[in-house]
Structure 1
Amino acid sequence: MKIGVPKEIKNNESRVGLTPAGAFELVNYGHEVYIQETAGESSGFADIDYREVGAVMLPTIEAVYAMADMIVKVKEPIASEYPLVKRNQIVFTYFHFASSEALTRAMIKSGAICIAYETVQDDEGTLPLLTPMSEVAGRMAIQQGAKHLEKPIKGRGVLLGGVPGVPPGRVLILGAGVVGVQAAKMAAGLGAHVTVLDINMKRLRYVNDVMPPHVVTEFSSVYNIKKHIKTHDLIIGAVLIPGAKAPNLITREMLKDMRAGTVLVDVAVDQGGCFETTRPTTHEDPTYIIHDIVHYCVANMPGAVPYTSTLALTNVTLPYILKLANLGWEAACSKYPDLGRGLNIVKGEVVIDEIKETFDGALV
C-alpha cells in the first residue's frame, strides 16, 4: 500500500503523523511511504531521517494526497485540504466530527474512508489511540492553567503550590478519565488542593486509591459544580463521550459566580467543549476573557510539545496502520473490532450513531 504523511497545516500544529521508526516498519513490510518535505522538522525529525529508512520525500501536500492510498495524519483535514481527499482513500487521523458539521459534510462528499483515532475502542471500553494525547493534554492543562493564573495574564495571581504560611491554590477537575487523572497527578505534584468530580463511582474510587490525601473526590452534580466553582482558582474540563459532543457542565450564567481571574481550561474543546462559553483557540492566541474569567481552549494542546507527542502517538497508531496497510481497510476492520469502531464515514455514509445524533438529521 502507498501511505502518505502530509505536513500538518493547522495553526501551530507541530506534530507529524509518523516517525522515521514508523516509516521504517512500514517499508520493511513492503509498503511505500511518502512524506511531505519538512513534515517532521518541528517534531525533531529531519527529511534525511526518513530518507535513510526508505521513505520517499515529496515537495507538496498535493503530491502526497495524490500519491497515497492511505493518509496518516495527526489533526483533521482543514478546509484547504478538503478537495485533496480522494474517493476510496483511507484517512486515518483525529477527526472529532461532532464538533464540525463543515468537516463532516466535506468528508461525506469526498467518498473517503474516514477512520478516527478517537473512536478506536477496545473490548474494555478504553480508547488506545486517544490515551497518549489525553495524557499529554491532562498534564499540560495544569502547566498552562498555572501559567495563566499569573496576574500579568489576567489570572487571579495565585501560585498553585502556595508557600509556607499561605494556602495552596485550588484546582477543580471535571471528569476522572485519563485527562482528569493526569491533571490531578500534575496538580497534586505542585502541591495544589485538588477536587475531582465524576459520575462514575468506579473512577472516583480509583482516584481515591492512587492519589495523595490532598486530592479529594466527589460525585458530579449541578449542585456540586455550582458549589465548587465559587472557591476554586483553576477549573479543568476533562469530560469525554466517545464520538459525541461534550456536555456543557458550566453555563455562561455560572461564570458570574466565579471569582475574577479564575482560569478555565477546556481539554474537551475538540468535542465542542464542556463549558458553554468555550470556543477553539490556538497556541498563537490561546485565551480570551468573559465576565473576568480567563478561558484557555487550545484545540491541539499536545501540538506544543511535538517531540514527546509524536513519539507517544506513533507508539500506539503504528500497529493499526500496519493492520490497515497489510490487510486493507475492510479486512482489517472486520478482523479487528477495535479498529472497526474507528470507522466514522465510509464512502459518503456516516456509520457511527454519535455523529448522526449530534447533527440530528441535518446531514440527510
Structure 2
Amino acid sequence: MKIGVPKEIKNNENRVGMTPAGVYELTKNNHEVFVQKDAGFGSGFFDEDYEQVGATVLDTIEEVYTAADMIVKVKEPIAEEYPLIKSHHVVFTYFHFASSEPLTRAMLNSEAVCIAYETVEDEDGSLPLLTPMSEVAGRMAIQQGAKYLEKPIKGRGVLLGGVPGVPPGKVLVLGAGIVGIQAAKMAAGLGAHVTIMDINMKQLRYVNDVMPNHVVTEFSSEFNIRKRIKDHDLIIGGVLIKGAKAPKLITRDMLKDMRPGTVVVDVAVDQGGCMETTKATTHEDPTYIIDDVVHYCVANMPGAVPYTSTLALTNVTLPYVLRLANQGWEVACAKDASLRKGLNIVKGKIVYEEIAQAFNWSVDAM
C-alpha cells in the first residue's frame, strides 16, 4: 500500500503522524511511504531520518495526497485540505466529527473512508488511541493552568503548591477519566488541594484508593459544581462521551460565582467543550477572558510538546496502521472489532451513531 504522511498545518501543530521508526516497520513490510518535506521537523525528526528508513520525501502536501492510498495524520483535516481528499483515500487520524459540521460534510462529500483514532475501542471500553494524548493533555492542563494563574496574565496570583504558612491553591477536576486522573496526579504532585468529580462511583472509588489524601472525590451534580467553583482557583474540564459532544457542565451564569482570576482549562474542547463559554483557541493565542475568568481552550494541547506526543501516539497507532496497510481497510476492520469501531464515515455515509446524533442526521448501517 502507498501511505502518505503530510505535514500538519493546523495552527502550531508540531506533531507528525508517523515517526521514522514507524515508517521503518511499514517499508519492512514492503509498503511505500511518502512523507512531506519537514513534516517531522517540529517533533525533532528530519527528512534524512525518513529517507534512511525507506521513505520518499515529497515537497508539497498535494504531492503526498496524490501519491497515497492511505493518509496517516494527527489532527483533523482543515478546510484547505478538504479538496485533497478523494474517494480512494483511507484517512486515519483524530477527527472529532461531532464538534464540526463543516468537516463532517466535507468528508461525506469526499466519499473517503474516515477512521478516527478517538473512537477505536477495546472490549473493555477503553480508547487505546486516545489514551496517550489524554494523558498528555491532562498533565498539560495543570502545567498551563498553573502558569495562567499568575497575576501578570490576569490570573488570581495563586501558587498552586502554596508555601509554608500559606495554604495551597485549589483545583477542581470535572471527570475522573484519563484526563481527570492525570490532571489530579499532576496537581497533587505540586501540592495543590484537589477535588475530582464524576458520576461514575466506580471511578471515584478507584481515585480514592490510588490518590493521596489531599485529593478528594465528590459526586458530580450541578449543585455540587456550583458549590465548588466558588472557592477553587483552577477548574479542569475533562469530560468525554465517546464520539459525541461533551455535556455543558459549566454554564455562562456560573462564571459570576467564580472569583476574579479563576482559570478554567477545557480539555474537552475537541468535542465541543464542557463549558458553555468554551471556544477553541490556539497555542498562538491560547486564552480569553469572560467575566474576569481566564479561559484556556487550546484544541491541540499535546501539539505544544510534540516530541513526547508523537512518540506516545505512534506507539499505539502503528499496530493499527500496519493492519490497515497489510490487509486493506475492509478486511482489517472485519477482523478487528476495535478498529471497526474507528469507522466514522465510509464512502459518503455516516456509520458512527453519535456523529449523526450530534447533527440530528440519520445513520447508515454497515
TM range (shorter): over 0.9
Paired residues in the alignment total 364
CA deviation digits over 1:134-154, x for unaligned, max 9? 000000000000000000000
Displacement of 1:362 in angstroms is 8.6
Give the structure 2 partner of residue 111 of structure 1. 111
Give the structure 2 partner of residue 217 of structure 1. 217
> TM-score normalized by structure 1?
0.99
CA-based RMSD of the aligned residues comes to: 0.9
Q: Match for 1:66: what amino acid?
A: T
Q: For the Cα contact (< 8 Å) 2:349–2:363, is it kept in 1? A: no
SS at 2:106 equivalent: helix
Q: Match for 1:37: what amino acid?
A: K
CA deviation digits over 1:41-97, x for unaligned, max 9? 010000000000000000000000001000000000000000000103100000000
Runs of 4+ in 1 over 4 A off after TM superposition: none
CA deviation digits over 1:307-326, x for unaligned, max 9? 00000000000000000000
Matching of residue 152 in structure 1 with residue 129 in structure 2? no
Q: For the Cα contact (< 8 Å) 2:138–2:267, is it kept in 1? A: yes
Matching of residue 346 in structure 1 with residue 337 in structure 2? no
Q: For the Cα contact (< 8 Å) 2:114–2:343, is it kept in 1? A: yes
Task: Supply the distance in 2 between the matched residues of 1:350 and 1:362 (Cα, whole angstroms).
Answer: 8
Q: Match for 2:189: what amino acid?
A: G
CA deviation digits over 1:244-288, x for unaligned, max 9? 000000000010000000000000000000000000000000000
Displacement of 1:361 in angstroms is 2.5
Task: Supply the distance in 1 between the matched residues of 2:345 and 2:88 (Cα, whole angstroms).
Answer: 11
Displacement of 1:131 in angstroms is 0.2
Give the structure 2 partner of residue 65 of structure 1. 65
Q: Match for 1:64: what amino acid?
A: V
Matching of residue 333 in structure 1 with residue 312 in structure 2? no
Displacement of 1:167 in angstroms is 0.3
Give the structure 1 partner of residue 48 of structure 2. 48
Q: For the Cα contact (< 8 Å) 1:88–1:347, is it kept in 2? A: no
Give the structure 2 partner of residue 355 of structure 1. 355
Give the structure 2 partner of residue 180 of structure 1. 180
SS at 1:275 equivalent: coil
SS at 1:298 equivalent: coil
Displacement of 1:26 in angstroms is 0.2
SS at 1:25 equivalent: helix
Give the structure 2 partner of residue 247 of structure 1. 247
Task: Supply the distance in 2 between the matched residues of 1:206 and 1:14 (Cα, whole angstroms).
Answer: 35
Q: Match for 1:152: what amino acid?
A: P
Q: Match for 1:21: what amino acid?
A: A
Q: For the Cα contact (< 8 Å) 2:23–2:55, is it kept in 1? A: yes
Give the structure 1 partner of residue 137 of structure 2. 137
SS at 1:135 equivalent: helix
Structure 1 stretches of 5 or more lacking a match?
none
Displacement of 1:363 in angstroms is 9.7
SS at 1:125 equivalent: coil
Mapping 1:1-364, distance limit 5 Å:
1-361=1-361
Q: For the Cα contact (< 8 Å) 1:2–1:67, is it kept in 2? A: yes
Task: Supply the distance in 2 between the matched residues of 1:130 and 1:28 (Cα, whole angstroms).
Answer: 27
Q: For the Cα contact (< 8 Å) 2:170–2:232, is it kept in 1? A: yes
Task: Supply the distance in 2 between the matched residues of 1:202 and 1:57 (Cα, whole angstroms).
Answer: 49
Task: Supply the distance in 1 between the matched residues of 2:29 and 2:208 (Cα, whole angstroms).
Answer: 45
Q: For the Cα contact (< 8 Å) 2:266–2:278, is it kept in 1? A: yes
Task: Supply the distance in 1 between the matched residues of 2:264 and 2:77 (Cα, whole angstroms).
Answer: 27
Task: Supply the distance in 1 between the matched residues of 2:55 and 2:86 (Cα, whole angstroms).
Answer: 22
